[in-house]
Amino acid sequence: MKNIASYISILGVLSIAVIVLIDNLIMPAYVRQREGRYMVNVVNKSVKYAKKVLASEGYRGLISDTLYSSAYPPGTVVDQYPAPNMRVKEGRTVRLKISQREKMVIVPDLVGRSHRSAKLGLNQAGLEIDTVYKEYNSDVPFGNVTWQYPKGGDQLSRGMGVHITTSLGVPPNFFQIPNVFGLSKKKAIKELEKSGFRLGKIYYRQNEELIPFTVLNQSVPPGTVLEEPSAVDLTISVLDMQDIFNQIIVK
């Protein structure tokens, strides 16, 4: 009976020792192995340095995405997954998002195009309109682009904006003298009337190089802006001045 009691006592002590061993050594080690380690933070580090740090901690760094931006030096880690301080298993692959220089695109030539056409052209190039200025311009139709910066053909980072100026057309209460040089007498008179001016005196000059009854000169230089319309004298070419005299006599 004493031997049996001794065996039972020894078995009980061994059982307690095993339980203590499991609770204090084996289970904590097992739990730590399952829970892994806290992920290191490699954001804002160069990708080369980040991979070294991850490897030293038992992880594998993998570039999975790229951010084109001028806010970070090229090759900088801007994000990672798993995120820093997450508990992960050893050997886990860490996906890294790194920065690269912004892609440069060619700025399209917008001068002369409508505002809508300019916007579409910029969007297709990966750019956008930044600021729109407006000015009166008698030479460019209303709404069309008269100026841009940067100019067409320059390079600009994708996503950046272009400054443009659009035309408001002819200034109000102003009249601009059209250029009628080289037009026939009939077309020149129509052009003057279309611009709000009236025909003044007509002078004739013999000229064998131009087609007869073509405008050689106008009394007000083309492009002149006036506050109110006035008469414009024209000098017309003829092959022979005698023809004009004959017309006057007949009348």
Residues 115-159: pLDDT tens digits?
999 999 999 999 999 999 998 887 899 999 999 999 999 998 888
Q: Which has the closest alpha carbon to 88: 33, 45, 42, 48?
A: 33
> CA 51, CA 65: separation in Å to the nearest integer?
15
Q: Which has the closest alpha carbon to 93: 131, 51, 129, 31?
A: 51
Q: Which has the closest alpha carbon to 62: 73, 54, 71, 70?
A: 54
Q: Is 31 helix (H, G, I), strand (E, B) or coil?
A: helix
Contact 42, 77 (CB under 8 A): yes
**Is the pLDDT confidence value at 246 over 60?**
no
Contact 195, 161 (CB under 8 A): no
121's CB contacts (< 8 A; 6+ apart) are 108, 110, 113
Is CATH 3.50.50.60 correct for 34-101? no
**Stretch among 7-16, 62-71, 128-137, 238-247 having the lowest mean pLDDT:** 7-16
Q: Which fold has domain 105-167?
A: Trypsin Inhibitor V; Chain A (3.30.10)
Q: Is 150 helix (H, G, I), strand (E, B) or coil?
A: coil
Say which residue, 249 or 242, is predicted with more confidence: 242
**Stretch among 7-21, 43-57, 73-87 having the lowest mean pLDDT:** 7-21
| CATH 3.30.10.20 location in the chain | 34-101, 105-167, 175-250
Q: What is the mean pLDDT of the chain?
A: 84
Highest mean pLDDT out of 115-124, 164-173, 233-242? 115-124
What architecture (CATH level 2) is domain 175-250?
2-Layer Sandwich (3.30)
Q: Which helix (H) or strand (E) holds 3?
A: helix 2-21
Q: Look-up: residue for tokens 């601009």?
A: 176
What pLDDT is stored for residue 33 in this prediction? Answer: 47
